[in-house]
Each structure stands twice: as C-alpha cells, then as structure tokens.
Amino acid sequence: MSTKPSRVHMAMGFDPDDDVTLNPETASLLERRDRVLGPSYRLFYREPVAIESGKGVWLKGVDGRDYLDAYNNVPVVGHSHPAITEAVTKQLSTLNTHTRYLTEPVIAYSERLLATFPEELNRVTYTCTGSEAIDLAIRTARHATGNRGLIISEHAYHGTTVAASGISPSLGPNNPLGEDVVTIPSIDTARIPADQIATKLAADVREAIARLQKSGAGVAAIILDSILSSDGVQVEPAGFLAPLVDIVHEAGGLYIADEVQPGFGRTGNWWGFERHGFVPDLAVLGKPMGNGIPIAALVGTTEAQEQFGDAVRYFNTFGGNPVSIAAANAVLDVIEGEELRQNAARVGAMLLEGLERIGAADDRVLHVRGAGLFLAMEFVDAQGDPDAALAARVVNGMREEGILISASGPAAAALKIRPPLPFSEQNAEQLLETLERVLPR
Amino acid sequence: MSTKPSRVHMAMGFDPDDDVTLNPETASLLERRDRVLGPSYRLFYREPVAIESGKGVWLKGVDGRDYLDAYNNVPVVGHSHPAITEAVTKQLSTLNTHTRYLTEPVIAYSERLLATFPEELNRVTYTCTGSEAIDLAIRTARHATGNRGLIISEHAYHGTTVAASGISPSLGPNNPLGEDVVTIPSIDTARIPADQIATKLAADVREAIARLQKSGAGVAAIILDSILSSDGVQVEPAGFLAPLVDIVHEAGGLYIADEVQPGFGRTGNWWGFERHGFVPDLAVLGKPMGNGIPIAALVGTTEAQEQFGDAVRYFNTFGGNPVSIAAANAVLDVIEGEELRQNAARVGAMLLEGLERIGAADDRVLHVRGAGLFLAMEFVDAQGDPDAALAARVVNGMREEGILISASGPAAAALKIRPPLPFSEQNAEQLLETLERVLPR
C-alpha cells in the first residue's frame, strides 16, 4: 500500500503498514476500495472484517465465519430484522416525499415518539444523522439564548460537520475546536470516588461558564452524552449529570442531551437522561432510530425551539420522509413487542456481573462499569497508567475469536461493549467465556 | 392558529394567518402537525398539499386529486419506482452496516459512479445529505489550502448545517453568513447581455478574492451551483462558470461544484459542470442520488482530498451503507435503462420552446430559460421590476389546477420547474396548457 507515513490512524484500527496477512477476498476488496474511496476512511481492527450479510446479533464474513456483534448500536433491533424490511418496502412502494407537503406518517410517528419523553419535550424536528441533529441543536441554542458559547467534555465526540467536529476533540489534534467552545475534564469514574463526581463536575462546569462569560461569548449550551461514551463509557453513579441543568440555566444556557448512543432503550430506559433523573431542554437522537435507515432528530421544549423556528426556516430534504419514518416506527414496534428494553436491562446486568467477576481476578482491570447493554472494562499497566496496548490486544484478540467489540476513552484503554439489544444471555455467556480466554494472552 | 405574527414565512408558502379554507383531511393533519413538529417547519403553497401516495410523475392527495409533479428532483426516476423498492428490499433483508467494515456494495457503486466523472475526479466520500457533503467540502478545502475564505453567490442556498447555512444567504436576514464568507452578486442572465456575463462574473470573483486576501482569510474555495438555482435558475450562456477555475486556482483556492440540484442527468448531461466545460476540484452530490433514500457524496480529485484525509478521519455512520448504496445503484440503472438523460434533454427542449412561446405573448414575462428539465420563467411588473406577487399567484394557481411547481430567485419572481426525469411530452403539454390558462388570471 502506498499510504503516506504521516497519515493519522484510528486506535484499534487497520494500519496498512502493519504486517497482516489478509484472506484473498478481503485483500481484493481492500485493494478496490483504496482506488475509489476518499482518503479519510478508516477500517476497524488490525485485520479488517469484510462482511457479506447479517441476521440478528450475527454478521457473516466473506471469509465464511460468523461474527457475534457486540459493538453496533445502529441495528438496535438486530441486523436485517424482517419488521423493518417489511415497513420500509411497503412505504417505499407507496410514497416517499418531504415535509413541505403534509404527510401522515411523520405526524403519527412524532406523536408516538414524543409520548416516550417527559411532557416538557413536546416538539420534534427531523434530520438524517446525529451530526445534523447536534448541529441543529447548536443553531437552536444560539438563537434561543443569544449566546455563542458551548461547554463540552474534553474527549467528546458529537459528529462530523464543521460545527459538530468543532465540539469533538476526540477526533484528534488535527481537528480544531470551534470558536467559543470550552471543555471540562473528562469524567473519570474509574479514578474519582463516586461521592465526589457530581461535586467535581459541577465545579468544572461553573469554571467553564466563568471562562465563557469572561470572553463575552456567554453560555448557549452544555452538550453531554447521557452516557459519556467517547470519554470511556462513564455511567455511574447515575444522577451526576442532573445538577448541571440548574447551573447552566442560571448562566442563561440550555442543556443539550446527546442521546445518539444511549437512546432507544439501550440502558433499559428509553433515554439516557432518565437514568440521571433530569429533563434536558433539547435531546439529540440518532444512530439506532431507524435500525440503519438514515434518520435522526432533535426533540425539545417549545421554549427552546421557538426563537430559531420563528426566525429561520429549517428544511432537511430527506428529514422526516415517510420511508425513514416507517423504519423508525417499526423500530419502536420491535423494541416494545420484543421487550428489548427489558432484555437490555437483564442481559446488561448479567454482562456487568460477569465482567466484574473477570475484572476482580485480573490486576490489569482497573474498573468495570455499565448501564444496560452499554459496558466498559478499563485496563491499567503495572504502573497504574491506562493500558491502551492491552485494550487493543483484547479487541483484536476478540475479533480473531469472532466477537466484535471496540475500545473507548481518552487513552483508548477501556473496552467498549455495546451490542444490538436482542443480545441474549447465551450471547453474553459466549462473550464472557471468550474474554476469559483472550485476556490472559 | 396561534402562530406569532413575527414568524418569518416562506415565499409561496402557507401562512396560517391567511384566510384559506382547507379540506377536512388537510385541516386535521395540519392541526396534529402543529402540536408535535418543531416550529421551524414550513409548508408549500397558500393552500398546503396533503399527499397520500405517489407513482411516476404523479402524487395523489388525501383530497383524492392527482397532482402532476413538476417540481421534485429527489424522485429523479419517478415516485415509488419499483426498481428502487426491489433493490432496497433485497439489501435490507441481507445486510445494512457501516464503512468501518469492508462491504462490497459501496466499492462497486463507487467504481460505477466515478466512471460518470472526468478521470481527475477519482475519489468519493459518502454522507447522508447534500448539507453534510457541502459541509465536508468546506472542511476538505480548508485543510487542502490552509485558507479559510469562501466565495459564494449572494442568493446562494447550500444547506442547513451551521457551516452550510453560513453560505446560504437565501435563508434570509435572520440567518447570518459565516465568518470569512464573501458574496458575489447574483448572476442575472435576464438583465445582463449574454456576451458580458462571463466577463462580469470573473471580475466579481477577482474582487471577492481581493477582499479575502486583504482580510487575511485567503481563498479556500469558491462554491457555486452548476445551475445557479436559488439565484433564479441561471443557466445560459453555458460556459460562463469555466473561467473561474483558473482564477480561483491562481488565488490558491479550490472550485467546489454544487451538483445537488443539476446532477444525475437533469440537464441531459450527468453533471451540470459538463455543460459549462470545466472540471471542478470537488463536486457535491445529493438530492436525487437515492431517489429519496438518504444518500449524498463528495467526489473530488485525490489532491484536493488527501490533506484532510491524512489529518482527520471522517466517519459518517449511515454514509455509504449498503442499503442507501443499493438505492443509488438502482437509480443509475434506471437513468441508463430508461434513457432518462435523453428524455430530460428532449422534453426539456420542448418545455423551453413552449415557455418561450408563452413568454413572447406576455409582456410580464421578462425572460425564459432552462437546461434539460430545469427551467424558469421570470416575471416583471409594468415598471420592469421583479414581480414576485405574480409568480406567487401563478405557483398557487398551478397548484389549484393540480400542477406542482415553485418559484426562485433573489426576488422570488421566477417560476422554478424541475420535474422528475420521466416527465413525458404529454406531461409537458399539460403543464404548458395549464400555464396558459393560469397566467392571464
């Protein structure tokens, strides 16, 4: 491969300069891909996975192997779920148009979606991706408050647009923060005592507010994942985010909950902020919303949205189209019909217990944590420093054993386990048994 | 309706304060919609259209009426085309995942898509919307050039993200231009003699470059629709955009062609820049790409993309997923199989001739123009000033007669006619006959 040595690679990702022997089908796809796709693409794993089909929690490789998917939250109800295919097919053969005409599906779905939220969150605007929704949340908050400043976590990831990447420092040093963006330290639940986390976080946010007020930007919003994902899947003690609502309101800003990863039942609740016991002004929904058919949304209070809505029209060509809505509606059907929130809570608790058992027996495991089917196991070396190399070895070792997970956190030293919600107890057992075999290597 | 009087409405759009009697089904949908959708939504037409189904160039209203679609470019191969439904259904029941695994569909489609471009444009990156693609083009151009400045038309529309809306002054006075964005005057092919347009445009761009260089921002890119759409569908004389490539290159910037509206065969060519006889550094594709399944892309030279690609990874969760790709591939199948580019050229020429005939007989018609199935008729009042009120009357009059069009341009005084590409000669005759009846009213 002729990739330039200066290229920035992804933690855990494929590096063409590594000495990896690929199977012929994978090597052929990789060669064709390198001739046509843009140079900003990256692949997962030291040895990339080439996929042919998917069903439930399983992906079938072009190498003929079955891979247990313990990572993807987009196929929230499982890969290739027939209920999604049926709903999309039916709508696609009937009508697919935009929201400048009246169509019934977007209205009926909105009524149903909003019923899963606290009643204050009573208006929804559709986009196609979480990036677009967070970007719209920024525009909305700046209009609502008249302020510019945004407060984020120092290892946040919120998306790929100019504005969303400007609040995504986890993209690395070549990706500049946006103007009027200030960071608070990553919440480190592995190292800070549980009873000090909320207090420290509140103090950090007050300091960030002071910086934005001093600079003249003022506070438009604080934006946090309701499970702090790129910061290393920080989840407990539930409740530590709640005090920030009043703090940011006092400063004239809004609270934007990024629900792209925790939302749609993953934690056992519909929404991650429920775990923390607060109501945000705006909530950003994405990845799992249509089980892979692009759809995302901004949900919020009327008060938070009306200044923007009065001043500027917003039209997203594909946003809220009847086909994406049909997929999203079928997702709600399946989450409810197959009791997937309940399954996430039950199997998640079992996984957490298993990970804790494994961690208790291994000095290299600093911390195990999780909420529903969103879990992490954090590694340290003999000096107690984050051990990203071990995390990478485990992630790639699990991939060799046919189980797909990834890593997360400022040092990329925490395993990230986030499977589709139909993940069964048997799947969980397989993951735990495999981890017990891979970890000692 | 309790909409606040300060609310900014859309030209030609529904205003709840207007005295309009709606049919009961439409009124009921509108009332439900107003309770759940965000306040930034707007509806087309004085009397909104509520749609139940679509087929080919026809939409069926909840009022039981058939509407001839002479406006929508998203359903480029026609509403509810069975080839798209079949392709999406098949892929959706097999696999839908992301580009951090290797999958064959995105590679095979990229090879096919790039074959429609000049060979210099040899890499493609997928997004879900044109807004995301133009936003990525901005990030890409800034990395490639080390400059910040963007040159756009003063009535441009390029999208809805913070960065894309910052280069979309047509969104109105409450939507601020981005930093380091400078505008050139709208290209007015109705009023400037044809042989002076290229010269004036080049001079305007040189002046914009001088402003950006003086401010220290430098020139990252010029961004123009290859048919200047929101500027009033400015198309002729073909070639007037070509000299700008060298001018912007000399200043160290890139040329970004926005192909979201003209692309995918509408002009009779695959791409709007072909009409003008030049090759851009980056081309942004959107709306028609998947016939309504969200997919968009940035196509460009390796040179333009490699600095960004090396420095920053780009991952769009749904971008390039196999299902969106299946839709996009089926779109190419149908455009080729049904010879829709040829149809666009033939029926477009017929429409243009008909509009010119109608215009020649009516003093209020200042100018008629078009390229393929993208046409405009511009109105003036007795003083020779743009007559937006007449355009609105005609657009709403056509809607009453069951034909859907819109208006465009800085003064919203030009009809915008942009039907799905299977628009037939018979459809064109119906449109022309109806316009002849509506126009004198």
As a whole number of angstroms, the distance between CA B125 and CA B226 comes to 20
As a whole number of angstroms, the distance between CA B17 and CA B27 comes to 14
B81 touches B334 (CB < 8 A):
yes
Q: Which residues of chain A have pLDDT under 70?
A: 1-9
Of B95, B125, B164, the CB nearest to A51: B95
A220 touches A254 (CB < 8 A):
yes
Beta carbons of B40 and A305 less than 8 Å apart = yes
Beta carbons of B165 and A41 less than 8 Å apart = no
CA angle A328, A331, A334 (to 5 degrees): 155
Type of residue found at A152: I
B225 touches B258 (CB < 8 A):
yes
The number of beta carbons lying within 10 Å of the beta carbon of residue A1 is 8
Chain A hits for B175, Cβ within 8 Å:
311-312
Chain segment A394-411, per-residue pLDDT in tens: 999 999 999 999 999 999
Beta carbons of A37 and B123 less than 8 Å apart = yes
The number of beta carbons lying within 10 Å of the beta carbon of residue B384 is 9
ipTM for this model: 0.96
Helix pair B340-360, B322-337: axis angle to 10 deg: 70
Beta carbons of B316 and A291 less than 8 Å apart = no
Tokens of A102: 């009246």
What values do phi and psi take at B361, rounded to 5? Answer: -95, 5
The side-by-side arrangement of strands in the sheet containing B296-300 is B123-127, B296-300, B282-285, B254-258, B219-225, B149-153, B181-184
Of B26, B132, B292, the CB nearest to A161: B132
Tokens of B85: 């439904």
B313 touches A40 (CB < 8 A):
yes
Residue of B nearest to A317 (CA): B287
Q: What is the pLDDT of residue B12?
A: 79
As a whole number of angstroms, the distance between CA A382 and CA A363 comes to 8
* CA–CA min distance A83, chain B (Å): 10
Beta carbons of B96 and A80 less than 8 Å apart = yes
As a whole number of angstroms, the distance between CA B16 and CA A34 comes to 53
Chain segment A112-165, per-residue pLDDT in tens: 999 999 999 999 999 999 999 999 999 999 999 999 999 999 999 999 999 999
Alpha helices in A146-193 (DSSP H): 162-165
DSSP state of A415: E
Of A8, A37, A316, the CB nearest to B160: A316
Q: What is the pLDDT of residue B407?
A: 97
Chain A hits for B103, Cβ within 8 Å:
50-51
Hey, of B35, B68, B101, which one would you mutate to test binding to chain A, going by the most A CBs within 10 A of its CB?
B101
As a whole number of angstroms, the distance between CA A278 and CA A219 comes to 20
As a whole number of angstroms, the distance between CA A138 and CA A132 comes to 10
A421 touches A373 (CB < 8 A):
yes
Q: Where are the beta strands (DSSP E) in B301-381?
A: 365-370, 375-379
Beta carbons of B100 and A44 less than 8 Å apart = yes
As a whole number of angstroms, the distance between CA A125 and CA A114 comes to 11
Chain segment A21-45, per-residue pLDDT in tens: 898 999 999 999 999 999 999 999 9
| Pairing label, strands A403-404, A375-379 | unpaired
Q: Which residues of chain B have pLDDT under 50?
A: 1-5
Beta carbons of A102 and B43 less than 8 Å apart = yes
